[in-house]
Amino acid sequence: DTAVSQTPKYLVTQMGNDKSIKCEQNLGHDTMYWYKQDSKKFLKIMFSYNNKELIINETVPNRFSPKSPDKAHLNLHINSLELGDSAVYFCASSPRDRGSEQYFGPGTRLTVT
Amino acid sequence: GENVEQHPSTLSVQEGDSAVIKCTYSDSASNYFPWYKQELGKRPQLIIDIRSNVGEKKDQRIAVTLNKTAKHFSLHITETQPEDSAVYFCAALGSSNTGKLIFGQGTTLQVKP
């Protein structure tokens, strides 16, 4: 069940480093998302792209920058990592514009030390 | 702003009993309400959804009801089994037409054998 895949699954890094998380979907979906799930399990949207165009950009520090090279990929780059960035990051995709039926990737557990 | 409240935060039932999780939403223009199940260490998975043009939808042991007037929707699980134990999230599609899902805070369901 690898329709939406993310790499890496685990990421441990030190404060101040820059890291990237990659996401790919092979479902032919047009829209992709990044979510952050904190230690209290709360799921919050960060960004969404529709066919490489940025649609949602929530109140996220500008250290976070999404990049969509094509509609099957949405990567997340994080600069100058902070302790508070530790969380599980989920990529998701949906088959139609404007977000019905979102399918999640397996998540990337980021730990900043 | 857009908000989804979910209750209870934890729910413990005996195997075979029913479980009900309730959500309220703030945006009267919301028209799509999915429910996700997240097992420990796994991705959120869509288990059932309902659109605002219907009041109830059922799929085997799970059902969802929607009361648009009261802006409430609920998940009902009958004949619970230990494998139903997970965190359940309700969500509402925001009215901004961007595909933004607003998630509830989650309910941890424990089904005791």
pLDDT value for A101: 86
For residue A66, give how far its alpha carbon lies from the nearest alpha carbon of chain B (Å).
16
pLDDT value for A95: 84
Mean pLDDT of B46-52: 92
Q: Is A90 on the interface with B (CB under 8 A)?
A: yes
CB atoms within 10 A of CB A3: 14
Contacts of B77 (CB under 8 A, 6+ apart): B18, B19, B20, B61, B62, B84, B109
pLDDT value for A90: 97
CB atoms within 10 A of CB B66: 21
Mean pLDDT of B12-31: 95
Which of A56, A102, A106 has its CB closest to that of B98? A56
pLDDT value for B1: 63
Q: Name the residue with higher pLDDT: B19 or B99.
A: B19
User: What does the mean pLDDT of chain B come to?
Assistant: 93
- What pLDDT, in 10s, does the model give residues A28-80? 998 999 999 998 889 999 998 888 888 888 878 899 999 999 989 999 999 99
pLDDT value for A1: 54
Find the DSSP H helices in chain B: none
- What pLDDT, in 10s, does the model give residues B63-84? 999 999 999 999 999 999 999 9
User: What does the mean pLDDT of chain A come to?
Assistant: 91
Residue of B nearest to A5 (CA): B43
Q: Is A34 on the interface with B (CB under 8 A)?
A: no
For residue B105, give how far its alpha carbon lies from the nearest alpha carbon of chain A (Å).
6
Q: Do B46 and A102 touch (CB under 8 A)?
A: yes
pLDDT value for A98: 53
The size of chain A, in residues, is 113
Position B34 confidence tier, pLDDT thresholds 50, 70, 90: very high
Q: Do A99 and B98 touch (CB under 8 A)?
A: yes
Which of B32, B43, B106 has its CB closest to that of A106? B43
Position A2 confidence tier, pLDDT thresholds 50, 70, 90: low
For residue B14, give how far its alpha carbon lies from the nearest alpha carbon of chain A (Å).
24
Position B4 confidence tier, pLDDT thresholds 50, 70, 90: very high
Position A97 confidence tier, pLDDT thresholds 50, 70, 90: low
